[in-house]
Structure 1
Amino acid sequence: MFEWEGRVDSEDGVEGLRWHQKVSEIEAGDETALADSVTLVGFESDLGVAFNKGRVGAAAGPNAIRHALANLPWHWPGTSLADLGNVTAQDNLAQAQTQYADAISYALKQNDGLVIGLGGGHEIAWGSYQGLFKAKSPNIRIGIINFDAHFDLRKPSPNSSSGTPFRQVYEHCQLHDTPFHYTCLGVSKAANTPALFNFANASNTRYLTDVALNDESLCMQRIDELLSPMLKDIDALYVTICLDAFQAAQAPGVSAPSALGISPTLVINTLHFLAQQQSTYGYQWRLCDVAEMNPNYDIDSRTAKLAARLIFEAVDAISSHT
């Protein structure tokens, strides 16, 4: 289990508390009540990255993110913080994804608050989706928003990988006769083949490119116009943030750094938009994860700090709009 530690401002009392002082470490299956908690679940895996021919090292990502979270201030006095620890992928990715999905499902069933997955390669997404599906009714309509330079719609050949999770979700939706509601924000034309764009179009994937999202005067309007038709048709929202969506200068610690990338501020504004729209469209946003944190290539903990800030903002968004 990760050892949470950090600065202590005892002179400020409860208003000086930080994440490391709020966290409670529990195990999946524990009878400890998780109601009104933010719950962290780590996925120590880079097997999917290796299968996708990427730079390994993301297995150490969850604890790097925890280290960056530890000293952040805790702004939500009515909310507690729980850490379910890590699921580790040794040599069997599918088995580890199932174990991680079980932990996510447990947290969602026990908890009224936000559940946050810490990656790990983007193979975490298939586990996160499975966990949400298991926790809800079979007829639930799940929407996915992926901030990513890549569609991650590759066909497993033969292994699933960090590049295949949303193809796996698509196939799962086909099998269960449920709609495939998937949006990718920040996709790079320079990082996806025509075959991937063709499949995205054939599967009715919604997307905006990194270039389109770098027009600050129009980007939030474009996001609203793209997302609103999906948001009105779903019951549950799952948000996943791949750290390679951001410029390499901001997020060097990833498998595939981006030359252009999208703005962290844009992502933060979108997180708050998604939290706010729950009351408009009636869906629940209970699950989020951050993927591709690779400490081997990070510089001055830039990527870990960015991941921590995005998690902080997701918690703040949910807390402010529920």
Structure 2
Amino acid sequence: MSVQHDAPSAGLPGDRGEDGPVFRVKDVLRPLKEETRGGAAILGFACDEGVRRNYGRVGAARGPAVIRSLLERLPVHGPAELHDAGDVACRDGDLDAAQERLADAVASLLGKGIRPVVLGGGHEIAYGSFLGLAKHLGDNLASTRVLVVNLDAHFDLRLAPVPNSGTPFRQIAELCAARNASFNYLCIGISELANTTALFERAARLGAEYWLDEEVRKAAPGAVRRALAQRLDAVDRVYLSIDLDVLPAATAPGVSAPAACGIGLDVVEDVIDAVKASGKLIVADIAELNPDLDCDDRTGRVAARLAYRLAIGLGKRSSGFP
């Protein structure tokens, strides 16, 4: 395991006096260097310009810093190769330029064999993430079967005068069309009460597949994972985007548009595990944490847990249950 050499600095103050390893994420997280190759990297997108344009409640620009601080406190139980690639910020209102910078950072990581886990920021993060993947693939985008999996209460396929947090997957569809690539879009957790008829009709025209929150909640155990496995078998790469507003407001209150219903955290984690187990996950992001609206860091802790699962992974321990 990669750890800090100054042993007394490992762990947290409450770990003092322990007679075994007390390593936390902060002890294995390393600044990204030019020569770094392999592993995973967290990359922040400190932006809520898209939320502002979409008439949402701003504050998501502070999301990456809060997720990092909570992530760094989590214990590490085995070898971990994790790097910090810093933040891309949007401070001047130029969302297009910020998404281009995010795309360049994502493409650079992919070029070094590093899996990016991008922390938002509003869901405008999605277009920057996918654009980075497209830049990495270059002319191979059209011949690579990429599945876009979005865990979200909303389609984010809006037609709007300017790009915002509600337009990224429509922008991705347009990018794919321009590059003669297929738009393979699966949205899990869609709320019938959070999307207009126009959005459902647009999703149908684009050939998008969606699973309603009501259907997912009532599904038999393992049904989501089995259905997802069929989709994963048919593709080469997966871009996974997680909008925290797919979770119930009781689980994730700190988002721009809290869900009255939503799907459970266990389902979200099942999807992450299935995508990772496929070996096809290439880029992932977590969007819409708004610390200003959070309660006791409830949403931030969920985001940190999901980031840990994506970047490091759980399963290092087993109790033998049942």
When the two structures are superposed, what TM-score results if normalisation uses the length of structure 2? 0.88
SS at match of 2:21: helix
How far the C-alpha of 1:314 sits from its partner, in A, is 2.2
Alpha-carbon offset, residue 135 of structure 1: 1.3
- Residue 7 (1) aligns with residue 12 (2): yes
* TM-superposition CA deviations, 1:52-87 (whole Å, max 9, x none): 11000000000010011011012331x321111111
2: distance between equivalents of 1:173 and 1:63? 32
**1:164 and 2:167 matched:** yes
Please tell me the residue identity of whatever aligns with 1:300. Answer: D
Specify the alignment match of 1:148 in structure 2.
Answer: 152
Identity %: 38
Q: Which stretch has the larger CA shift, 186-195 or 268-277? A: 268-277
Partner SS, residue 211 of structure 1: helix
The 2-side partners of 1:5 and 1:124 are apart by 33
Structure 1 Cα separation of the partners of residues 48 and 102 of structure 2: 14
Matched residues in 1 for 2:219 and 2:178: separation? 40
1:21-61 Cα shifts (integer Å, max 9, x gaps): 111123xxx423132x2201100100000111100000000
The one-letter code of the counterpart of 2:154 is: H
How far residue 111 of structure 1 moved from its aligned partner, in angstroms, is: 2.7
User: Which residue pairs with 1:249 in the alignment?
Assistant: 250
Tell me how far 1:6 sits from its aligned partner.
6.6
Q: Which residue number corresponds to residue 281 of structure 1?
A: none
Runs of 4+ in 1 over 6 A off after TM superposition: none
1:124: which partner in 2? 125
CA distance in 2, matches of 1:132, 1:199: 24
Structure 1 stretches lacking a partner, 5+ long: 279-283
Which structure has the bigger radius of gyration?
2
Q: How far apart, in 1, do the equivalents of 2:314 and 2:238 lie?
A: 12
* Secondary structure class of the residue paired with 2:87: strand
Residues 214, 110 of structure 1: alpha-carbon distance in 2 compared, 3 angstrom cutoff: same
Equivalent residue number for residue 205 of structure 2 = 202
Partner of 1:233: 234
Hey, what does 2:135 align to over in structure 1?
A: 134
Q: How many residues are paired up?
A: 303
Report SS of the residue matched to 1:42. strand
Letter in 2 for 1:164: T
User: CA offset at residue 270 of structure 1?
Assistant: 1.7
Rounded to whole Å, the distance in 2 between the matches of 1:129 and 1:243 is 18
Amino acid at match of 2:301: K
Which residue does 2:86 correspond to in 1? 85
Q: Distance in 2 between matches of 1:248 and 1:85?
A: 29
> Which residue of 2 is the match for residue 106 of structure 1?
108
The one of 57, 66, 75 equivalent to 2:59 is 57
Give the conservation status (yes or no) of the 8 Å contact 2:225–2:274: no
Query: Higher mean Cα deviation, 227-236 or 263-272?
Result: 227-236
Cα separation, 2, equivalents of 1:318 and 1:171:
36
Letter in 2 for 1:294: N
Partners of 2:68 and 2:19 lie apart in 1 by: 23
Q: Decide whether the 8 Å contact of 2:11 with 2:23 is kept in 1.
A: no
Cα deviation for residue 14 of structure 1 reads: 8.1
Determine which of 182, 185, 188 is the counterpart of 2:185. 182
Contact in 1 for aligned 2:42/2:311 (Cα 8 Å): no
CA distance in 1, matches of 2:40, 2:12: 21
